[in-house]
C-alpha cells in the first residue's frame, strides 16, 4: 500500500517534470533564457496545469460515480454532462458568439454542463432523493439527445466552424492560458474537498442504501453531495478543455489495482493518476509530429486502453 502511494507520487512528479521540459524543443531548467522562459511559463506550464486539473477532475469523478451508481462501468460522461457542455460550446463556436469575451466558450460549456447536470438530477429525483438507476438512465437518455442535436448542428455548420468545434470536442489543450485557471481550480478543488470529506460515506454507498444507513449515514444526502461534487468537477473539466474520453472510466480501475478500493485513498489517487495520464497524453500529442498536434483525448485512449486490457487479464481489476 505505502509502496503504491509512493509509486504513484513518483510517477506524477516525473510526468510533470517531463511535460514541462520535453516537447518539440527540450528545455534545460538550469540554463533558461528569454525564449525558453516564455515557452516554460507562458505556454507549457498553463497547459500542464490545465491537463492536471482536467485529468484529476475526471479521474476522481469516475471513481466517485462508479461508487454512487454502483457500476464499475460508469464514467463522468455517462451522466450526459459532457454532451450538454459540448452542445453548448459547439453552438457558441458555430454561431460565433462572444458574449463573455475570450471566456465565451468555456463559460458556455460550463453552463451547458451545469444545466444538463441539473436536468439529470431532477429526472433522477424521486421520493426525497437521487436514485442510482434513474440517474444512469436519465444521463444516458439526455446524452443521446444532446449528441444528436450536436451532430445536427455540426452537419449544418460551415467548414471552419465544423473544424473548430470538432477540435474542441476532441479535447484541445493548446489554447490553455493562465486567465481561466483560477475558476477551474476553484471548482475542481471544491469538488475534491467534498469528495474527500464524504469518502467514507461513498464506501458505504457501494454496499447499498440500507447498509449506508446502518453505518450511520443518510444515503440520499450523501449521494446528493457527491453528485453535486461530480457535476462541478466534470463541468469544470469540460469547460477547461473539452471532452477527454477514457480517463474517467479506466483510471479508477488502474488506481484500484495498485491501492485497493477504499475511496479515501482511491479518489485522490485517481485524481493524481488522471492528471498524470492526461499530461503524458498531451506531451505525446504535441511531440509526435510537430508542429501538428494530436488531440490529447485520442492519445489517452490509444495508450490507456491497451494497458487497461492488459490489467484486465490479471485478476481482480474488475469484479466480474
Partner 1 sequence: MILRLKDVCFSYEKGEGFIGDLSLSVGEGEFIGLVGANGSGKSTILKLCGGILKPLSGGLLLWGKALHTYRNRDRAKLISYLPQTLDASIPFTVEELVGMGLYPYDIPPAMTTDDALAMVGLTEKADAHVTDLSGGEKRRTFIAMTLLQGAGLLLLDEPLANLDIKYQIELIRLLKKLREERNISIVMALHDINIAMQFEKVVLIKNGSILGSGPPGDVLTDDLIRNAFDINVKIVRNPHGRAYISYEDNF
Is the CB of 30 or the CB of 320 nearer to partner 1?
320
Residue 1 sits in the site that holds partner 1 (CB under 8 A) = no
C-alpha cell at 269: 489517487
Cβ pair 200, 226 in contact under 8 A: no
Residue 3 sits in the site that holds partner 1 (CB under 8 A) = no
Is the CB of 29 or the CB of 260 nearer to partner 1?
260
Residue 213 sits in the site that holds partner 1 (CB under 8 A) = yes
Phi (first) and psi of residue 125, to 5 degrees: -90, 130
Residue 218 sits in the site that holds partner 1 (CB under 8 A) = yes
Is the CB of 13 or the CB of 318 nearer to partner 1?
318
Largest Cα–Cα separation, the chain:
64
Which span (51-59, 88-96, 178-186, 260-268) binds partner 1, by CB under 8 A?
260-268
CB of 269 to partner 1, least distance (A): 14
CB of 140 to partner 1, least distance (A): 18
Phi (first) and psi of residue 33, to 5 degrees: -120, -175
- Interface mask toward partner 1 for 154-193; x: CB under 8 A: ----------------------------------------
Residue count, binding to partner 1 (CB under 8 A): 27
Residue 28 sits in the site that holds partner 1 (CB under 8 A) = no
Among the listed residues 83, 203, 234, 300, the single contact to partner 1 using CB under 8 A: 203
- In sequence order, the 6+-apart residues with CB closer than 8 A to the CB of 271 are 55, 56, 57, 59, 60, 192
Which span (37-45, 113-121, 203-211, 269-277) binds partner 1, by CB under 8 A?
203-211
Cis peptide before 291 (omega within 30 of 0): yes
Residue 256 sits in the site that holds partner 1 (CB under 8 A) = yes
C-alpha cell at 99: 458574449
Residue 312 sits in the site that holds partner 1 (CB under 8 A) = no
Which span (84-92, 168-176, 215-223, 289-297) binds partner 1, by CB under 8 A?
215-223
- Strands 125-126, 129-130: pairing is antiparallel
Which span (114-122, 211-219, 238-246, 280-288) binds partner 1, by CB under 8 A?
211-219
Which span (116-124, 180-188, 256-264, 288-296) binds partner 1, by CB under 8 A?
256-264
Catalog residues that contact partner 1 under the rule CB under 8 A.
66-67, 70-72, 200, 203-204, 206-208, 210-211, 213-218, 256, 260-262, 316, 318-320
Amino acid at each position: 500500500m505505502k509502496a503504491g502511494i509512493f509509486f504513484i507520487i513518483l510517477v506524477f512528479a516525473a510526468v510533470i517534470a517531463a511535460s514541462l521540459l520535453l516537447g518539440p524543443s527540450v528545455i534545460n531548467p538550469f540554463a533558461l533564457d528569454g525564449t525558453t522562459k516564455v515557452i516554460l511559463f507562458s505556454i507549457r506550464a498553463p497547459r500542464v496545469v490545465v491537463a492536471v486539473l482536467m485529468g484529476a477532475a475526471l479521474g476522481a469523478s469516475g471513481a466517485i460515480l462508479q461508487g454512487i451508481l454502483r457500476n464499475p462501468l460508469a464514467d463522468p460522461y455517462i451522466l450526459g454532462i459532457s454532451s450538454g457542455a459540448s452542445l453548448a460550446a459547439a453552438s457558441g463556436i458555430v454561431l460565433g458568439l462572444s458574449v463573455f469575451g475570450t471566456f465565451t466558450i468555456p463559460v458556455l460549456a460550463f453552463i451547458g454542463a451545469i444545466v444538463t447536470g441539473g436536468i439529470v438530477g431532477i429526472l433522477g429525483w424521486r421520493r426525497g432523493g437521487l436514485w442510482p438507476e434513474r440517474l444512469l438512465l436519465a444521463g444516458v437518455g439526455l446524452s443521446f439527445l444532446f449528441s444528436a442535436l450536436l451532430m445536427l448542428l455540426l452537419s449544418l455548420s460551415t467548414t471552419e466552424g465544423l473544424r473548430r468545434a470538432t477540435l474542441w470536442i476532441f479535447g484541445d489543450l493548446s489554447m490553455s492560458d493562465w486567465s481561466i485557471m483560477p475558476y477551474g481550480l476553484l471548482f475542481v478543488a471544491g469538488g475534491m474537498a467534498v469528495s474527500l470529506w464524504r469518502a467514507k460515506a461513498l464506501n458505504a454507498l457501494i454496499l447499498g442504501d440500507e447498509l449506508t444507513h446502518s453505518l450511520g449515514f443518510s444515503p440520499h444526502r450523501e449521494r446528493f453531495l457527491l453528485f453535486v461534487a461530480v457535476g462541478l468537477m466534470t463541468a469544470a473539466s469540460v469547460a477547461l478543455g473539452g471532452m477527454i474520453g477514457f480517463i474517467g472510466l479506466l483510471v479508477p480501475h488502474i488506481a484500484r489495482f495498485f491501492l485497493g478500493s477504499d475511496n479515501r485513498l482511491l479518489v485522490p489517487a485517481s485524481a493524481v493518476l488522471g492528471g498524470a495520464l492526461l499530461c503524458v497524453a498531451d506531451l505525446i500529442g504535441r511531440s509526435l509530429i510537430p508542429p501538428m498536434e494530436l488531440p490529447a483525448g485520442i492519445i489517452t485512449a490509444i495508450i490507456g486502453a491497451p494497458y487497461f486490457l492488459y490489467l484486465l487479464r490479471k485478476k481482480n481489476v474488475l469484479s466480474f
